[in-house]
Amino acid sequence: MIKKKNFIIALCILFLLTNLINTTMAAPNYKPNIKSPAAILIDAKTGQILYGKNINEPLYPASITKIMTALILLEEGDLNKVVKIHENVPSLIEPGSSQIYLLPGEKLTRKQLLYALLIESANDAAVAIAQDVAGSIENFADRMNEKAKELGATHSHFVNPHGLHDENHYTTAKDMAIITREAMKNPIFRNAVSTVRYIIPATEKQETRYLYNANRLIKKSTYKDYYYQGATGIKTGYTTQAQNTLVGGAKKGNLELISVVLNAKGTDIYEDTRTLLNYGFEHFTTKIIVRKGQVIKKLPLKNANELLPVSAKNTFQYASFKNSNEEITSIIKLDKDLSLPIKKGQIVGSIEYSLKGQLINTVPLVAEKTIEPSNRIIAFLYHIKMGKVILNIIVLFLLYRTFVFIRKNKDKKRSK
């Protein structure tokens, strides 16, 4: 009996310890062990940062630069356009670097160059894209920097479309996450970065080309140790100065993640990426806080005899730790100059969401119906006011026409 009792006690202790470990692992203060100098993990849908390590430290990106190059090309559009390769393309990249050996005068479509850029990581394809879109590498780099600034990637500076080393060509983990999140909104980009094999048919100058993706996250048959279930692909990079760089991504259920790892040594690039993605999927869950069109509240208004229903203009979802009981609070703020009448669909204010006293998002509120003033006198005065405005415009127009008419008559008399 004593042995049995001791066994039961031991089982209870083991159960309690297991729960304690699981709770600790799921707690918000748990962080993954990342070997590389800089890394980030974000929610792809919202851009919310789930983990960061030196996320604003400027580092060399190598070929993940091509994500920005692809983004600009896709915004330019017309992927069926045929591009004739310039004479100087081969001389504008390092000999022996990653390329598809484009020949001067050779013709490929923008789409073929895009897939060569993202799958084979072809530096000559990057140059050809830059020349086609902007006329030169320098002009294209200006476009890259403008786009980075527009997106809020403010710690980056690009001088070329491929990522071959230049001391003035740098980015950060956070900036690359921002750029990639924008690129992944395009279905053509998503397809390209998750494609393992692509064929460019023979041109008038070369035989058929077979392109193979170097990203081990999506190559199950070749790299079983690094293959990641649910991976969405994205882009690898390497130069001696940048070391290994990788923008990874994966989707499971309603949670999609983007990871960036910079300046990694050897296989650390994949181990750190796997660690980041596992951390995200194991410890976070996405909750929809409010849906687009969801009525938030019916608000009383001065001089109205009915309540104004207001709804969210867009959907807001938030990734939070599993088993976390942290509460997201909200407060409605109506526009200060709001006055009747209010038209259906009019933005009337916003709802602010906060966590631990910190603002995490603001969603505009729109009126779900038209509200007229309840007081007939106020309504009448409003319409009179609008009528006066219209009347004033008509009077001003008539005065202008009269002035023109008189001026013309005077000119005729002078000419006689």
Please identify every residue annotated as catalytic. Answer: 63, 66, 121
> Which residues, 6+ apart, have CB-to-CB distance to 414 below 8 Å?
none
Alpha-carbon distance 104 to 92, whole Å? 12
- Tell me the pairing of strands 308-312 and 347-355: unpaired
| CA 45-46-50 angle, 5° bins | 105
Q: Kindly state the tokens that stand for 254.
A: 């309603």
Q: Kindly state the tokens that stand for 212.
A: 């193979």
Alpha helices (H) in 136-203, listed in sequence order: 137-151, 173-183, 187-193
Instruction: Compute how many other C-beta atoms are within 10 angstroms of the C-beta atom of residue 131.
Output: 21
Alpha-carbon distance 298 to 189, whole Å? 43
Alpha-carbon distance 400 to 402, whole Å? 5
Strand intervals (E) in 147-300: 197-200, 209-212, 235-239, 243-252, 255-264, 284-290, 295-299
- Reduce the DSSP state of residue 222 to 3 states and report it: coil
Instruction: Compute how many other C-beta atoms are within 10 angstroms of the C-beta atom of residue 338.
Output: 16
